[in-house]
Amino acid sequence: MLVRFWGTRGSLPAPLGRRAVRAKLREALTAAAGRSFATPEELDRFIDGLPFDVGGTYGGNSSCVEIANVGDEYVLCDLGTGVREFGVRMMQERGPQRPACYNVFLSHVHWDHIMGFPFWPSAYIPGNTIRIHGCHKTMREALERQQSDPCFPVDFRNLGAQIEFVELEPERGYEIAGLTVTAMLQNHYGDSYGYRFERDGKVMVYSTDCEHKFQTLDESYPFVPFYRDADLLVFDAMYSLADSISVREDWGHSSNMVAVELAQMARVKHLVLFHHEPMYDDRTIETVLGETRRYEEISRAGMPLTVSSAYDGLEIAL
Amino acid sequence: MEIGEQASGGITILRPVGRIDNDTSAEFQDKLLSRLGGGSVLIDFTAVEFISSAGLAALMTAAKQAKTSSRRVAVAALGSVVQEIFAISRFSRVVPVFASAAEGIAALQ
């Protein structure tokens, strides 16, 4: 199983602006301190040695995560703007002539999780099949509405691919595209669903747009068994703890501290912070990652938990 | 959990001991809210070694209640680990933090 992150931003795409690029250039050139580089490889090594928020970026596409290497069919979580880049890569790798079957698992139909669909090239190619799985009865309605006159020039009904909607029941295991999949209801306006994917003893949980509320955190909290022993947990850690229980309470998102505590309680191996606040620049996300790793150290009672922050382009093999 | 208590000039000073976490946060919250009914509260963190999200949530509940009743909740004398947790959680921006209990008492009076 290989997990590829195509879109990691929450609520709204957040492109890198001129000022941010300029700040990165300034820092990189300052770090170079007049050095010269004899070869492009030497320059690449220097760039790779820069802090990630200087030499790279977390990216700005909204939620889309691929689970690859599970069979002949493709598997995606959510259809945020990251799906456009996924589709472009599919076109490059497969060409437009070879039809494929894509299985999408929708956490919910809020706009940032479906807005990439009209820009997904695979949807326009006859012969392709796109199966959209989820627990909401409104999946078709949401996709049709965002792609209808006057908001978009190509009506949903005129897409070339065969589009199917598959309604799932939460807390029931399904065999889909080589994976055992279980959905779980999450606390979010209009409901959202997390997905637990299992294959060959490996477990990946995709749990975004969920506000965790508990008086005491123990085995009775249903997300502890849902996350239990996951090799990878993709977790909505959009806000600080203080914001998530004050000014942004009931906005439907969680914090990095709750992420760590839940992951530790469930004996997760690798926690990936996801659904980044669009107001956060790369430096802020990097700072939050460092703080989260530190909180994991402070609160650790058992095995160490690996903590990463998702970025557009990140790949994690399980 | 052990929570020491002292009254000083209309302020209650609470002195919890040990960890404020899943096991103890409910007790901590009950004590905090009950004392807040009588006036402002300063929590002296000198003997607190760790506070989890549940403990901080209890503090937030108290801060919200204080706001509606024109009372104040503040914390003082955070140890280095607890200070880090306050920074990570951004609680330093929500609840007034004082270097010592004496400073906190002076500010709340």
Name the residue ranges covered by the structural domains of chain A. 2-14+57-317, 18-55
Find tokens 């980044």 and name the residue. Answer: A276
By Cβ distance, the residue of B25, B54, B85 closest to A295 is B85
By Cβ distance, the residue of A216, A217, A240 closest to B89 is A240
Answer whether B90 touches A (CB < 8 Å). yes
CB atoms within 10 A of CB A286: 18
Asked if A176 contacts A162 with a C-beta cutoff of 8 angstroms, the reply is no
Position A116 scores a pLDDT of 98
CA distance B73 to chain A (A): 15
CB atoms within 10 A of CB A211: 23
Which chain A residues contact residue B93 at CB under 8 A? Answer: 242
Inform me whether the pLDDT recorded for B61 exceeds 90. Answer: yes
Mean pLDDT of A300-317: 97
Inform me whether the pLDDT recorded for A214 exceeds 90. Answer: no
In terms of C-beta distances under 8 Å and separation of at least 24 residues, what long-range contacts does B23-28 make, across chains too?
B23/A216, B24/B55, B25/A216, B25/B52, B25/B54, B25/B55, B25/B57, B25/B58, B26/A215, B26/A216, B26/B58, B27/B1, B27/B3, B28/B1, B28/B3, B28/B55, B28/B58
Please give the Cα distance from B39 to A218 (Å, whole number).
33
Class (C level, CATH) for A2-14+57-317: alpha beta
Say whether A257 and B53 touch across the interface (CB within 8 A). Answer: yes
Say whether A258 and B53 touch across the interface (CB within 8 A). Answer: yes
Say whether A257 and B54 touch across the interface (CB within 8 A). Answer: no
Phi, psi of B74 (to 5 degrees): -140, 165
With bands split at pLDDT 50, 70 and 90, how would you rate the model's confidence at A96? confident
Structure tokens at B14: 């609470």
Find tokens 């001991």 and name the residue. Answer: B17
With bands split at pLDDT 50, 70 and 90, how would you rate the model's confidence at B20? very high
Say whether B53 and A294 touch across the interface (CB within 8 A). Answer: no
Please give the Cα distance from A222 to A227 (Å, whole number).
9
Asked if A174 contacts A202 with a C-beta cutoff of 8 angstroms, the reply is no
Which chain B residues contact residue A261 at CB under 8 A? Answer: 52-53
Say whether A298 and B94 touch across the interface (CB within 8 A). Answer: no
pTM: 0.96
pLDDT digits over B34-50, tens only? 999 889 999 999 999 99
Position A34 scores a pLDDT of 86
Asked if A89 contacts A142 with a C-beta cutoff of 8 angstroms, the reply is no
Here the ipTM equals 0.95
CA distance B88 to chain A (A): 6
Asked if A306 contacts A269 with a C-beta cutoff of 8 angstroms, the reply is yes
Phi, psi of A62 (to 5 degrees): -80, 170
Which chain A residues contact residue B57 at CB under 8 A? Answer: 245
With bands split at pLDDT 50, 70 and 90, how would you rate the model's confidence at B109? confident
Please give the Cα distance from A7 to A233 (Å, whole number).
16
Inform me whether the pLDDT recorded for A144 exceeds 80. Answer: yes
By Cβ distance, the residue of A245, A261, A294 closest to B60 is A245
CB atoms within 10 A of CB A116: 26
Beta-ladder partners of B18: B48
* Domains contained in chain B, CATH given: 3-96 (3.30.750.24)
